[in-house]
Chain A
Amino acid sequence: MSGWRHPDLGTEIDRSKPLTAKVDWTKIHGFHGDTLASALLASGPRTIARSFKYHRPRGLYGMGAEEPNALFDITRDGTTIPNERATLTPLTDGLKARAVNASPTAERDRARWLDLLHRAIPAGFYYKTFMAGGWHLYEPRIRAMAGLGRLDPNTNPPADTPARSATCDLLVIGAGPAGLAAAKAAAEQERAVWLIEDGTSLGGALRWRGGEIDGADWTDFARATETAILNSDGRILTNTTAWGAFDHSLIAAWQRGPDHDVHWRIRPADTILATGAVERPLWPAQNDLPGVMSAEAAHHYLTLYGAVAGRRILIATGSDASYATAAAFAATGAKVTLADARDATPAAPDGVRVLSRQTLRAVHGKTETWGATLNDQFHSADAVLVSGGFTPSVHLHCQSGGKLDWNAEKDALVPRPGTSHMKVIGAANGTFGLGPALAEGATAAGGLAPDTPDGTNWRWHPARPDIDASGRIWIDLQNDVTLKDVKLAAREGFTSVEHLKRYTTLGMATDQGRTSNFPGLAAMADATRRSIPETGTTTFRPPVRPVPLSVIAGRRRGDLFNPLKRLPLEDAHRAQGAVFREYGGWLRPSAYGKDEAAAIQAEAEAARDTVAIYDASPLGKLDIIGPGAPALLDFAFYNRLSTLKPGRARYAFLLRESGIVFDDGVVLRPSENRFIVSASSSHVDAVRLLLEDPRQGRFDPSQVAIHDVTQAWTTLTVTGPRAPELLAAVGIDVDLPHMGVAETTWGDAPLRIARISFTGDRSYELSVPLRQGPTLHTRLDVALGAVDGRWIGLEAVMILRAEKGYIVIGKDTDGLTMPHDLGWGGPRDTREDEYLGKSSLFTEAAMAADRRQLVGLSTTNVVSTGAHLVPLDGPRRSLGFVTSSYQSPNLRRPIALALLEGGAAMQGAEIGVFHNGAVQRARVTKACAFDPEGERL
């Protein structure tokens, strides 16, 4: 039976713009304004999907996020998005839709036979079998059959969704009658109102049920609301879903934009929830047949899109609400029978046959509906519209901690006032009917109730799944969970609602239990002789409906993901042929030249033979200024610094309170009241905040300041025997002792020189303000040729310092290394005063002889960093590991540093170096392998 498009009904569609799309192998026709669902209903086949587990034929059921069946992989101009709900997919010309979890198509699905096995594969059957021989034998086939849509490996959605924060006075979520009334009342009191609506336009159910408000058609009321909001600095966001309620009443909302979406983080002073309700189905046998639809949804498709659900329509209900639906369908010329469960029923609308005291027992048909049995009589019908009452949409109230109470009179779980920061109004609060919803909305915002002739508050005959009924009855259409499954769960003790959900997967599909949670709960209550409140509800978890990962992930990608700090002289280094790598949050030259490995060796050699320059700008420069500086540094550092003379520098460690080495570096004291802590480039912020702790908590902050001026200076380090020659060539002549620091000028710019060596050769750190960096670089570059020097990258520097046995924190130390493990036991032995970490240096573990200590290793060939040290004989266990390992061009042999259990006392001993199963021999040496006496400094 193909669909039926009414010749002139359809407020949302533009008949002047016809569209065609393809669903599986079938062409379907629609208009601009249609959704894929409305176009399918109007022109398409009945079977549009296959159920997840039994692969039964399925048709369109609902109109929004509650749609359990109509899921497609949608391709639009080359881009595919899987698992899209037809009800939420705007129809576009040339759109291709492919039914999920069915092949080749929904109608001709090859896995149809699975339904024959249904008796043997109830809920949770997989816990009871697939054990023989091990799960791995069965898993691949089961995984292939599971899953809905297919990911398109060639579609990479761009990271272009901005995240925007916003604050407002009142946030109203939902623009149905109640929401409109609340927003209008608040806006008219000059409050800044944000109104969020999930649909494409305002009005909610008014759009198909209509209604008169304040003496005029509801559309006037909606327009007046819009004007009031915009006039009082408010905002209206349609196509926007409020999907998460977080702490401090923050609401996350996903706005679907024409060119790109927006991820909103809204912090309202007050929030009103007016998210309406979802119609409940009924539970006759074979209630999953194509042609069985929600009555409210069918009415929605008729009025908004002119899509008529059927020609011989049976409406099964217990509610006055369905009478307007019946009237609307009768007006199209369709044959309409309304079966009301109640004894007393409202007057029959024209052209509608009303039967009272009717119970829908079963629906009949193979791949579409032929008819249904009411009480014990068959009625022919091609569409069975069901209405089992309404379930308030309370997700956001519950997400923010709100509780629910069972209200027997409203036959619904409604929000308990005061248990969340939101006021809940309208159908979401169990207030069904136009008049009551408008009144509740207006008064919630301190306004007067708008008047309307439609003052009734719907009630309905409570409908429940009959746990004694025979036949196959579906509770969760999308996850294929039947009433028998709920009874099985009860029988096996999974009686908590959370256990029911997890054991049967009821309510865990992508419609998130909108039409299945209530009947599942009711059926479990009956099966265990408990009331609904006693059985309880499952927790509501974000998102309210599935949200694209790309919306939440936002623009944080590639360049914008964990961005690196960049050197001011980056371009100059690129011009020299530098290869760049990531070092401690900075992008820095690793070497200069195409063949990186060869360049590294050549650079390390040149630095020892003649002179080399490297960019050391990332080295931390923390100005510690004021009379309180010495006392602060003495407490913060492991080494005393108050004894450092102005014009001098000292190597020092910073410990955590646990005694673990946190950072090391040289502290300069250019003048009496000023120190500069050169923290490691990767640790600058952490060191600053480590120092701020005692500065603010223990000392008087007004007497000592900490200024991070790292990024105000360019530092180029000149190192090598011909370094003084190079300095002279650029007009810098200085006689500084080793570990001396001087502040002078160079041309008209300030210049700080520190004679500090990380390479083991005579080295000068030249620091000039950022603006003078390029000039210093150029002058040095020009002078390099004359002294046969070259630019070097960080890899060469790492070799040079390793030859000297100088450590790099985090590489040559791990999270348990204390200063005395590195041979720096002095302060631990002598300092009487307090300093960070002091007491931790005297714990049982700190005093143990088997601590891992820094040693050098001499090996025949290069060992790999990360290899472990093992005894040469006896049971194999780790005694430590190699932390740094290189081929030293200057010593023409491999060098390595390691942390070794009791290493200090093992000089000269032979040890095994274990890597990936193989063991090499090595001899334990001192850490420093080059110029141990330090004559070259």
Chain B
Amino acid sequence: MKYSAVTLAREAVRGQRGWRPAWVKAKPKDAYDAIIVGGGGHGLATAYCLAKTHGLTRVAVLEKGWIGGGNTGRNTTVIRSNYFYPESVALYDLALRLYEGLSKELNYNIMLSQRGMLIAAHTPAQMEICNRIANAMQLNGVDGRLMEAEEAAAKVPLANQGAQARYKLMGGIWQGRAGVARHDAVAWGYARAASALGVDIIEGCEVSDIRVEAGRVTGVETDLGPIRTNRLGLAAAGATPGLAAKVGVRLPIHTYALQAFVSEPIKPILNTVLLYLGTGTYLSQSDKGELVIGGGLDRVPTHGQKGNLPAQEEVLSGLLEMFPSFGQLKLLRQWGGVVDVVPDSSPILGPAGPDGLYLNCGWGTGGFKAIPAGGTLLAHMLATGAHHPISKPFDLDRFRTGRLIDEAAGSGIAH
């Protein structure tokens, strides 16, 4: 049933009894034309694109837990394309352009709020690096510009401007189209749309092995039994390296815990997304009124979705250095996701190992903003067996040739 104010009003009269499950809780069939491992945003978006764009509906998404329960449900919901290299901008701005039409496309309000993002600089040297990025963005057709101190301060009036401030707000990079979106809604919106097109979404189904015969993928082993396919997409973030290793594909991926924090909800006090280069802390305020805060990784290789105290103390002391008045607020919730970090902090997209196996992983700390692009590109590879022009530069082979896309190195800012 279509979602709209009309259907909502009609159901209001009927006690909301008319709604049907947003997605069908499918049981696995014996075989599919394509299988995607990982029921996060990327996996669900891939299934939707396969059905919608490529007309492939004998498709299954296998999720070991509940959809949207991995990094899709654990990030700080920031969406942006303020990147340095043309290849990165092509990828992330594709995602941003798709996000801009996604609520209408999926008939599901993902609450995309393009409130703009400021990356703040505090020294002349940092302003020079911001200028380097802003110009790169403009050359790549993205709305990035260098912002001077006065205009930047007006964007974040509560930011620390006192004499005691450790970091003066000297200006920075501004992207107006950047912002935030409701992360759960992205997963559920794609799931509902894909399910409506006939895709099987199978939760509680963990893939334990990949079956290969004569160099070609023939299916997967799961705790709900074997399922056959010749086209397999891996979009399982931190779990991807373990699966790929089963077919001899060794990846340059470390997994770390990345923590995020949410404060108690308060009336609106922050209308933009802000990152301070000096503290490394970034934040935005959700529509419900909670401050959503993030920062650096727990630099300890891990597979547990839990971070530790030092990273919390560092991120939150950074926050209060940026906004001393936020010392009035209390931490409501803290959680961690397991992020799959690649040496050049760019994803790994493309075929690997046996024929029919395609990777969409290595998104590290930046996966949420790329969901629609990840889906589009993995669907293209599964449907056509070949790279999309935008995914090609992110092939695993770049580590052999040395043609890395190292945003942190290029832009001088850790992404």
Contact = CB atoms under 8 A, between A and B. Distances in A.
Q: Do A and B come from one complex?
A: yes
Q: 5 closest Cβ contacts across the A-B interface?
A: A815-B409, A147-B289, A866-B131, A493-B21, A845-B402
A125 B6 CA distance: 12
B320 A557 contact: yes
B306 interface: yes
A881 B109 contact: no
Interface in B325-372: 325-335
A417 B410 CA distance: 52
Given A120-B8, A492-B20, A914-B139, A814 B410 contact: yes
A499 B22 CA distance: 12
Contacts of B285: 143
27 contacts: A83-B329, A120-B12, A126-B111, A127-B109, A129-B5, A135-B112, A135-B113, A143-B289, A150-B266, A151-B325, A153-B325, A157-B324, A252-B309, A488-B16, A488-B19, A502-B184, A503-B188, A541-B333, A556-B321, A557-B324, A558-B166, A559-B164, A810-B412, A816-B410, A878-B136, A915-B135, A916-B135
Contacts of B66: 496, 498-499
B130 interface: yes
Nearest to B307: A246
A478 to B, nearest CB: 10
What range describes how many residues of A lie at the interface? 35 or more
B313 interface: yes
Nearest to A564: B166
A655 to B, nearest CB: 13
Interface in B87-130: 103-104, 107-109, 111-114, 123-125, 128-130
B198 interface: no
Interface in A124-139: 125-132, 134-136, 139
B8 A549 contact: no
Interface string B128-150: 11111111101110000110000
A811 B132 CA distance: 11
A125 B128 CA distance: 46
Contacts of A659: 402
Nearest to A71: B264
A598 interface: no
A351 interface: no
Given A131-B107, A151-B326, A562-B278, A542 B8 contact: no
Nearest to A581: B123
B158 interface: yes
B335 A541 contact: yes
A376 interface: no
B286 to A, nearest CB: 8
A155 B325 contact: yes
A334 interface: no
Contact of A156 (B3, B9, B182, B325): B325
A558 B164 contact: yes
B401 interface: yes
B135 A868 contact: yes
Given A129-B3, A131-B107, A556-B321, A816 B406 contact: yes
Interface in B38-87: 66, 68-69, 73, 86
B229 interface: no
A548 B329 contact: yes
A867 interface: yes
Contacts of B287: 139, 142-143, 146
B205 interface: no
Nearest to B111: A135
A491 B309 contact: no
Contact of B138 (A81, A120, A150, A916): A916
B328 A151 contact: yes
Interface in A370-426: none
Nearest to A659: B402
Contacts of B4: 128-129, 131-132
B109 A131 contact: yes
Given A151-B329, A549-B316, A815-B410, 16 more contacts: A127-B3, A131-B3, A143-B285, A147-B268, A147-B288, A156-B324, A156-B325, A246-B309, A491-B21, A493-B22, A510-B330, A542-B334, A558-B321, A814-B412, A843-B400, A848-B403
Nearest to A494: B22
B325 A159 contact: no
A30 interface: no
A265 interface: yes
B320 A159 contact: yes
B319 interface: yes
A543 to B, nearest CB: 6
Given A151-B267, A546-B332, A136 B409 contact: no
A706 interface: no
A885 B46 CA distance: 46
B265 interface: yes
B208 interface: no
Contact of B19 (A151, A492, A562, A582): A492
A147 B265 CA distance: 5
A149 B267 contact: yes
Nearest to B126: A582
A247 interface: yes
A865 B146 CA distance: 12
Contacts of A250: 308-309
A81 B329 CA distance: 7
Nearest to A556: B317
Nearest to B262: A508
B401 A547 contact: no
B136 A868 contact: yes
B401 A147 contact: no
Contacts of A367: none
Interface string B145-165: 110000000000110000011
Interface string A792-818: 000000000000000000110011100
Nearest to A150: B267
A877 B409 contact: no
A417 B394 CA distance: 47
B95 to A, nearest CB: 17
A132 B123 CA distance: 44
B384 to A, nearest CB: 26
B7 A128 contact: yes
B185 A552 contact: no
A660 interface: yes
Given A561-B166, A866-B135, A876-B139, A549 B401 contact: no
A558 to B, nearest CB: 4
A16 interface: no
Contact of A557 (B21, B134, B321, B325): B321
A152 interface: yes
Contact of A128 (B86, B109, B130, B265): B109
Contacts of A136: 113-114
Contact of A119 (B13, B278, B335): B13
A659 to B, nearest CB: 8
Contact of A877 (B139, B263, B334): B139
A551 to B, nearest CB: 9
Contacts of A155: 325, 328
A77 to B, nearest CB: 15
A95 interface: no
A498 B109 contact: no
A462 interface: no
A9 interface: no
Nearest to B335: A541
Nearest to B195: A493
A916 B174 CA distance: 12
A653 B48 CA distance: 51
B309 A244 contact: yes
A146 B331 contact: no
A815 B406 contact: yes
A539 B69 CA distance: 11
A660 B410 CA distance: 12
A147 B69 contact: no
Nearest to A248: B308
B54 to A, nearest CB: 26
A775 interface: no
